[in-house]
């Protein structure tokens, strides 16, 4: 069985989110999704998600492509190897905006030692939670 793992905030759920989940599930038997907690979002992005954590989890749990939703707390956000220790995934899915960054080049090497493949999906430039938030703020 191939276990896949991906993470995100998944605030203001949009087609880019759906694409990464659909594409991820097409490459694995079981898809585990780490949903970033409100506290971690605030700590790392200095903003609070518009949709609260428990609602984002409920949305993710209702999507057919998702087999398990887990909280991406501080430890799992900072240390993807801790996530691997918890879930033993074979493949990790990431947006292409992270490809070739120092963090992910190093992480790919670490994950390769556990025989985990990292797959980068194209970032959906036309739609993002940031763009949606900006439009909403301008509408006010």
CA 132 to chain centre: 18
What strand order describes the sheet that includes 91-95? 68-72, 30-36, 3-8, 91-95, 117-121
Distances (CA, A) of 122 to 9, 62, 97: 17, 24, 8
DSSP letter at 66 equals: -
Q: How confident is the model at residue 123 (pLDDT cuts 50, 70, 90)?
A: confident
Mean pLDDT over residues 121-132, rounded? 66
Q: What is the pTM (predicted TM-score) of this model?
A: 0.87
Domains of the chain: 3-139 (3.40.50.620)
Higher pLDDT, 131 or 16: 16
Segment 103-112, tens digit of pLDDT: 899 999 999 9
């Amino acid at each position: 069985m191939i276990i896949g793992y991906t993470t995100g905030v998944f605030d203001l759920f949009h087609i880019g989110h759906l694409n990464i989940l659909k594409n991820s599930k097409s490459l694995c038997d079981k898809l585990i999704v780490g949903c970033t907690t409100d506290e971690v979002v605030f700590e790392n992005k200095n903003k609070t998600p518009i949709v609260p954590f428990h609602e984002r989890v409920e949305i993710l749990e209702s999507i057919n492509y998702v087999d398990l939703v887990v909280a991406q707390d501080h430890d799992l956000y900072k240390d993807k190897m801790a996530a691997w220790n918890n879930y033993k995934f074979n493949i990790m899915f990431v947006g292409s905006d992270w490809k070739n960054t120092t963090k992910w080049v190093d992480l790919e090497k670490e994950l390769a030692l556990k025989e985990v493949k990292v797959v980068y999906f194209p970032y959906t430039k036309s739609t993002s939670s940031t763009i949606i938030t900006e439009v909403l703020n301008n509408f006010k």
